[in-house]
Amino acid sequence: MFGSLTDDFSQVVVFGEMKPSIAFTDRKSIYLSSKGSRNLGVRIINVPKVNAGV
């Protein structure tokens, strides 16, 4: 009945409503460099509208 997982498992658990926030998905990366893929990873939580420009 009980055993071990074959793969790693992670899940976000939230208690109550999360406060609004905007953050880059990877804090160690360099975004929008001339040699990069020109993608921007952003995590947006409880922000109804975002206006971004480059």
- Answer yes or no: is 5 within a domain: no
- Answer yes or no: is 1 within a domain: no
- Answer yes or no: is 36 within a domain: yes
- Count how many domains the chain has: 1
- Answer yes or no: is 33 within a domain: yes
User: By residue range, what is the domain housing residue 42?
Assistant: 17-49
- Answer yes or no: is 2 within a domain: no
Residue-by-residue pLDDT tens, the chain, 54 positions: 678 888 888 888 878 888 999 988 877 766 666 776 777 788 899 999 999 877
Q: Which residues of 5-41 are buried (b: 16+ CB within 10 A; e: fewer)?
A: eeeeeeeeeeeeeeeeeeeeeeeeeeeeeeeeeeeee
- Answer yes or no: is 22 within a domain: yes
26 touches 48 (CB < 8 A): no
- What pLDDT is recorded for position 26? 78
Looking at residue 6, the DSSP 8-state letter turns out to be S
Q: Is 24 helix (H, G, I), strand (E, B) or coil?
A: strand
- Answer yes or no: is 12 within a domain: no
